[in-house]
Every structure is written in C-alpha cells, then in structure tokens.
Amino acid sequence: TQLLEQSPQFLSIQEGENLTVYCNSSSVFSSLQWYRQEPGEGPVLLVTVVTGGEVKKLKRLTFQFGDARKDSSLHITAAQPGDTGLYLCAGGYSNYQLIWGAGTKLIIKP
C-alpha cells in the first residue's frame, strides 16, 4: 500500500511569517500534485511537479519535488490570511489513480 505522509498535520502562524510543509513517501511517483481546499469546497489544483529536483514557483509559494521523486515540499513566503486552508498532496502512481495525503491544515492569523 502506497502512503503519503504530510507534516505537520496542523500549523497556525502569524501573517508575514514563512512556513514549509512536507509530503513524504517510500514510493516513487511519476508526478506529485498539490491542492488547496477551503471549507465547504472541493480541492483545487495549485501545481504539478513531474521531474526529480524540479522547483516551481507560484507567486509566494515554492514547490519542490525530491530528487528521488518520493517527497515534496511547499514553502510559503510572507504568509497571508488568504493562504488559510487545507493543503493536500497527491502522488500520481498510475494513469488512473492518485494517492492522497491526509493534508496540512494551515491557519494564518492577521
């Protein structure tokens, strides 16, 4: 059974601080997706990384895929209240299924 472990499970910080959340597995994935989910809504894709060592930036968010394609991190610079949400990672293992982590619940306090 493939597992994706996300850490921390919960993070509450002040506006303006930096943070990093992690997504780790013992399995190799062909791709890794990061989603953000807001209360009462379905997850929405933020980014997909496919190459080992790949780094993608989305404004203040930086995503990195590990060299061995087993882990990933999401770094947020100068967090804002609008970044609040549940961050989910999903590993692409086959062409029909995604393996999901349990998520990191992020709260940014004004």
Partner 1 sequence: NAGVTQTPKFRVLKTGQSMTLLCAQDMNHEYMYWYRQDPGMGLRLIHYSVGEGTTAKGEVPDGYNVSRLKKQNFLLGLESAAPSQTSVYFCASNYYGTEAFFGQGTRLTVV
Tell me how far, at minimum, the Cβ of 73 lies from partner 1, in Å.
18
What are the tokens at 22?
Answer: 């992690």
For residue 82, which phi and psi values (nearest 5 degrees)? -70, -10
Site residues, partner 1 (CB under 8 A):
9, 30-31, 33, 40-45, 48, 88, 90, 92, 94-98, 100-103
Select 14 or 96, whichever has its Cβ closest to partner 1.
96
Tell me how far, at minimum, the Cβ of 71 lies from partner 1, in Å.
16
Tell me how far, at minimum, the Cβ of 25 lies from partner 1, in Å.
13
Q: Give dist(CA 12, CA 109) in Å, integer.
A: 7
Select 28 or 45, whichever has its Cβ closest to partner 1.
45
For residue 78, which phi and psi values (nearest 5 degrees)? 50, 65
Select 20 or 30, whichever has its Cβ closest to partner 1.
30
Tell me how far, at minimum, the Cβ of 68 lies from partner 1, in Å.
20
Strands annotated E in 1-110: 5-7, 10-14, 19-24, 31-37, 44-49, 55-58, 61-65, 71-76, 85-92, 98-100, 104-109
Select 85 or 101, whichever has its Cβ closest to partner 1.
101
